[in-house]
């Protein structure tokens, strides 16, 4: 099956890619998690609700940013492909 066919049938879902939780990612994620735990221990219930709302809104913003970055990267890749296949400006002939 081709890549396009896999994409059509839902076998490829770029938005569901999983980041390997190793190396620098793991280190930063663990620090974030510990900091969040420490912070939430000091918050009142009302402040925790506000912090949860903040985290939800931030996650939505990250989703939008990731989508836009994916689109920009995909378009740039297509531009590279089109330029590479353009015979009209072949400098080596």
Q: What is the pTM of this model?
A: 0.67
Please report, in tens digits, the pLDDT of each residue of the chain (93 residues total): 888 888 888 888 877 766 677 899 899 999 999 999 999 999 999 999 999 999 999 999 999 998 899 899 999 999 999 988 887 766 666
**Would you state the structure tokens that stand for residue 62, as one six-digit string?**
């990250």
- The vertex-64 CA angle with 46 and 49, nearest 5°, equals 5
DSSP-assigned letter for residue 11: S
User: CB atoms < 10 A from the CB of 66, how many?
Assistant: 13
Q: Which long-range contacts (CB under 8 A, 24 or more apart) does 51-55 make?
A: none
């Amino acid at each position: 099956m081709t890549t396009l066919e896999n994409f059509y049938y839902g076998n490829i879902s770029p938005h569901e890619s999983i980041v390997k939780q190793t190396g620098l990612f793991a280190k930063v994620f663990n620090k974030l998690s510990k900091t969040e735990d420490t912070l939430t221990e000091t918050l009142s219930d009302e402040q925790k609700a506000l912090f949860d709302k903040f985290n939800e809104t931030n996650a939505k913003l990250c989703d939008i940013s990731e989508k836009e970055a994916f689109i920009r990267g995909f378009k740039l890749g297509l531009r590279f492909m089109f330029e590479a296949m353009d015979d009209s400006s072949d400098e080596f002939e």
